[in-house]
Amino acid sequence: MRRVFVTAAIGFLAIGGAIGCGGAKKDAAAGDDDPRSRVKESAVGKVHGNQSGTFCEPEKYDQIDEVFRSKQRTVLHCYLDGLDRGEVKRSQHGRVTVQLTIDAAGKPKDVVISDDQLKCETVCKCVVDLVKGWDFPNCGGDVPYTYAYNFQP
């Protein structure tokens, strides 16, 4: 039985330093010999204000964290689809870091992959396309956000 792990860490950085961190762990069964048979998920990223000083309240950061946490299974499918198409080898692993700005209306903009250790363009494009369609809490201004997904077989 093969296992596929998706981990990400979510930590928040604001004016004075860290104000919290969180994560979730879930298991899901899909088949005995399938790499999808067990999936462990937890989450890691960094949120910070921009140069103009726009920051969210800690509760808003928790809500942003929850958006990313609730979408982990969807993001996992980007990796699993890459496995199915042979674009990702079964032993291949790595971190994919998404960088974005959440605007005043809670919409993501300037979504890019800032670090691709997985080295799979189609997985990265899939992740970016997903994030572009998500809605986030309104923080009253543009707030940069970075989130890392670690894919491990």
The predicted-structure confidence for 46-105, as pLDDT tens digits, reads as follows 444 444 456 778 888 889 989 998 999 999 999 999 999 999 998 999 999 999 999 999
**φ/ψ of residue 100, rounded to 5:** -150, 170
The pTM of the full predicted model, rounded to 2 decimals, is 0.69
Q: What is the pLDDT of residue 49?
A: 43
Number of domains observed in the structure of the chain? 1
Q: Looking at 17-122, which runs of residues are DSSP E strands? A: 17-22, 39-42, 44-47, 94-102, 108-116
> Sign of the C-alpha dihedral, residues 77, 81, 87, 90?
positive
- Answer yes or no: is pLDDT of 133 > 80: yes
Whole-Å CA distances, 140 to 39, 54, 68, 110, 117: 36, 8, 20, 17, 33
Owning domain of residue 13: 4-152
| pLDDT confidence band for 15 (50 / 70 / 90) | very low
